[in-house]
Amino acid sequence: MATKMDFYAVLEVTRDASPEVLKKAYRKQAMKYHPDRNPGDASAEQKFKEVNEAYDILKDDQKRAAYDQYGHAAFEGGGPGAGGFGGFEAGGLGDIFEQMFGDMMGGRRGGRRRTGADVQVQVEISLTEAFSGVTKPVEIRTRITCEACDGTGSADKDAGSSTCPTCHGAGKVRAQQGFFLVERACPTCHGAGKVVRNPCRVCHGAGTTQETRTLDVQIPAGVEDGTRIRMPGAGEAGGQGVQPGDLYVHVGVLAHEIFQRDGANIYCRVPLRMTQAALGTEVEVPVIDGSRAKVKIPPATQTGENFRLRGKGFSVLRSAARGDMYIQVAVETPQRLTKRQRELLEEFEAEAGADHATASPENAGFFSKVRDFFEGKA
């Protein structure tokens, strides 16, 4: 078996990385190795799985604490965390020791519900789709219940099954690893505790077959970039008596050419001509919901000034409320002047220079401070 890479190395972060740093690193790596961006690249697909597994562990405080103390061994027990993303969601750190020491700590408090594997996919949506919500078809290749045997794994439904000779019906086997006694799913029955006497010719006794299917994913209005949507029971089938796993949809929101989002607020950069900013004007701007809004720009407006449009911002998740929209002014300097335009500007500068402090107070104040600075040096 290949040795797993350190989860921190997979995400390219240090072991003391904050949750914010972890999330940012995960997004970067997930986008880099996503199968849609690397079609046919098996190594990229494997890296994508490793990145998802690493982040799923490290973003959870309990799982991260277990990993920091025990490494990958903390997740190699026979529960739903074995080889996947489930970990110890039900019992937290207490179950870690139960998985490792078994009967040495008085036995387990009860068997976990066995489930099929979870499936992870990524969907990219536009900013406008994130604002209004959208239904996206997602194509996944996963295991489903075998139709030939109805998931029993047996070619003859009357033949039934017998107790697994390897685990004697427990569904798990134990192995000594140094000081630890580690439980794993039985390699013979794969955790079922039973083996089929007459295996189905289609699924070869597994009770599941692999198939590509398309599911419609409801993405709610107000969703943020990096949101993970869980669809219970939409993951891989696990065979007879086993609940299907879950489907996790990672949502990526694409950048917009006009709007920039900050939580529930939206920013729109509006360039103005120098004359518009000096004399004042009225501009019409688009709103994320598809409507339009008129904004009055007062005379003497400077670059960087913001004008707020209340309630014209982004949707708030699970709420009818909306944030605000901010118009950010950027005053442009004229380029490629005609002869006449240059003459007019020269006349303007000559006249403004007579009352420089009034026409451009910030400019005058700055150079006054510069003059005082140099005089002080002298």
Beta strands in the chain, from DSSP E residues, in sequence order: 119-125, 134-145, 161-163, 172-177, 180-185, 194-196, 208-219, 228-231, 247-253, 259-262, 265-273, 281-286, 292-297, 306-309, 325-332
164 a known binding residue? yes
The pair phi, psi for residue 46, each rounded to 5°, is -65, -40
Query: How many CA atoms does the CB half-sphere of 187 hold within 13 Å?
Result: 2
| Contact criterion met (CB below 8 Å) for 125 and 253 | yes
Tokens 């997602």 sit on residue: 138
Vertex 191, ends 249 and 117: CA angle to 5°?
Answer: 5
Burial state string for 80-105 with b = 16 or more CB within 10 A and e = fewer than 16: bbbebbbbbeebeeebbbbbbbbeee
268 a known binding residue? no
Give dist(CA 34, CA 50) in Å, integer: 11
Residue among 250, 247, 249, 251 nearest 119 (CA):
247
Residue 213's alpha-carbon distances to 38, 134, 137, 138, 139, in angstroms, are 20, 19, 10, 8, 6
What does 219-258 look like in DSSP terms, one character per residue? EPTTPPTT-EEEETT-S----TT-B---EEEEEEEPP-SS
Tokens 């390219």 sit on residue: 12
Residue among 81, 351, 333, 303 nearest 191 (CA):
81
Give dist(CA 140, CA 138) in Å, integer: 6
Q: Please enumerate, by residue number, every residue annotated as part of a binding site.
A: 146, 149, 164, 167, 186, 189, 200, 203
Binding site listing for Zn(2+): 146, 149, 164, 167, 186, 189, 200, 203
